[in-house]
A and B are shown apart, each in its own frame.
Chain A
Amino acid sequence: MIRVTVNGATHRFERPLVVEELIARLELAGKKVAVERNGEIVPKSAHAATQLTDGDALEVVVAVGGG
């Protein structure tokens, strides 16, 4: 089992997964999001290949209304 933090909340997964799977599990597939892992950007092109490891901290962001 691995434990990762996404947007400040802890999520547990029974087996290691890649960023693309994480996005699907969070029901964000197909949405325009950007991902940061442990302070570094994970480019879209690397979502399928970037393996998450226990203790990772992720940020998943979108564009919202603002001034």
Chain B
Amino acid sequence: MAKRDELVVAGRSYSSRLLVGTGKYMDFAETRSAIEASGAQIVTVAIRRTNIGQTQGEPSLLDFLPPSKFTYLPNTAGCYNAQDAVRTLRLARELLDGHKLVKLEVLGDPQSLYPNMPETLVAAKQLVSEGFEVMVYCSDDPIQAKMLEDLGCVAVMPLASLIGSGMGILNPWNLQLVIERVGVPVLVDAGVGTASDAAIAMELGCDGVLMNTAIAAAKNPVMMAQAMKKAVEAGREAFLAGRMPKKHYSATPSSPTTGTITSSQPKAA
């Protein structure tokens, strides 16, 4: 086989193009089983206030998913302005011993969790200036995606549909525009509901897919994690293989047209 096909983000290579979140699982054991089944190497985590007085003796996420085995991607979920997002990621960098790779998301409102792009751009600029490697959740607007790349973000991550909605890829046209225009990796982040959604994202030419709820909220999260792993791989291979052109309004037989035992054939319309 030729050169290995790997996802390269901020100069590091990953054999898996599936990135997964660690939220919404029943417990840490299920989190770990699902993440192992997904084959993901990059996992997102949230940064939250400690539960003072209630955390004694409780295991932590870091015990179940050792940072030596996974690349942590701390996020800014729950932040609605640039300042909060920047503060959160400074804390994340301190917490994770100087770790620079982060997921920036600045949300517009709690109902849609749609990205607030003006604040996202402000935060991205600040974080890049402080040495962070910023993977950024964004709208599927090709102009603003390019702006984020120009600011120095290491990956842009447009939503396919609303976070946690499972609605799949609502606008493949815009996604394609982003992929064509942006040089850094483009990952679909948010909205994937099932395996075919992930495959479609990869077939469109995305460099990866980030998901959480599609796996965690499945009836069998571990099996769904396996399905997503296969879907991302299948979609990527289909993209690399180069799909046949679509042919509208006429068929082409796959079997020989001569030598049949039939006595007659209707004329083509």
Contacts and interface: CB of A to CB of B under 8 A. Distances in A.
Contact of A61 (B47, B53, B77): B47
B194 to A, nearest CB: 16
Interface string B62-103: 100000000010110100000000010011101110000000
A61 B24 contact: no
Nearest to A32: B62
A34 interface: yes
Contacts of B74: 63
B187 to A, nearest CB: 13
Given A6-B52, A27-B53, A67 B61 contact: no
A36 B83 CA distance: 14
Contacts of A65: 21-25, 28, 31, 45-46, 61
B50 A62 contact: yes
Given A8-B49, A61-B48, A66-B46, A34 B23 contact: no
A12 interface: no
B45 A9 contact: no
B87 A67 contact: no
A28 interface: yes
Contact of B50 (A31, A44, A66): A31
B62 A63 contact: yes
A33 interface: yes
Contacts, number: 106
Contact of B45 (A6, A33, A36, A63): A63
A7 interface: yes
Given A59-B91, A61-B95, A66-B22, A28 B55 contact: yes
Interface residues of B, number: 38
Q: Interface majority SS on B: helix, strand, loop or mixed?
A: mixed
A62 to B, nearest CB: 5
B95 A62 contact: yes
B86 to A, nearest CB: 11
A36 B94 CA distance: 9
B46 A28 contact: no
Given A63-B47, A64-B45, A67-B163, A32 B52 contact: no
Given A7-B50, A28-B52, A28-B55, A63 B44 contact: no
Contacts of B25: 65
Given A31-B60, A32-B60, A43-B94, A66 B49 contact: no
17 contacts: A7-B52, A28-B52, A33-B95, A34-B91, A34-B95, A36-B90, A41-B94, A60-B49, A61-B47, A61-B95, A63-B74, A63-B95, A65-B22, A65-B24, A65-B25, A65-B46, A67-B210
